[in-house]
């Protein structure tokens, strides 16, 4: 098994509803032991470089949260991402072992 990071992008302007929360819970349950870390939504952040720091807030174009999963390969990770019930856009990256 390989580890993959699912990065959720898009707006967080709307508060979660009972229906969307229930859909997330059901989705995580359907993944079983493939879930390494269910993750969290992101709040305030900073873009830090050697010469500059910029404040970041969740936005319609930024990364708004993450989940870590196990999958055989990126194709399986993509299929898992496509089953997400409420997020329209998910970036999928393999977490490379070091």
Which CATH number does the domain housing residue 70 bear? 3.30.70.1060
Q: Is the dihedral of CA 54, 60, 66, 71 positive or negative?
A: negative
For the chain, give the mean pLDDT: 89
pLDDT digits (tens, 9 = 90+) for 48-59: 999 999 988 777
pLDDT of residue 10 exceeding 90, the answer is no
Say how far apart CA 84 and CA 24 lie, in whole Å.
Answer: 8
Residue 80 CA from chain centroid, whole number: 12
The boundaries of the domain holding residue 58 are: 2-95
pTM attached to this predicted model: 0.86
Looking at the 3D structure of the chain, how many domains does it have? 1
Determine the average pLDDT of the residues in 31-58: 90
Within 10 Å of residue 1's Cβ, how many Cβ atoms? 12
């Amino acid at each position: 098994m390989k580890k993959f990071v699912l990065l959720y992008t898009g707006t967080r302007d709307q508060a979660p509803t009972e229906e969307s929360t229930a859909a997330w819970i059901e989705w995580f349950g359907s993944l079983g032991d493939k879930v390494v870390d269910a993750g969290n939504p992101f709040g305030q952040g900073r873009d830090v470089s050697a010469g500059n720091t910029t404040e970041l807030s969740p936005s319609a174009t930024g990364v708004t949260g993450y989940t870590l999963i196990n999958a055989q390969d990126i194709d399986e990770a993509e299929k898992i991402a496509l089953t997400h019930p409420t997020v329209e856009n998910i970036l999928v990256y393999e977490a490379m072992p070091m």
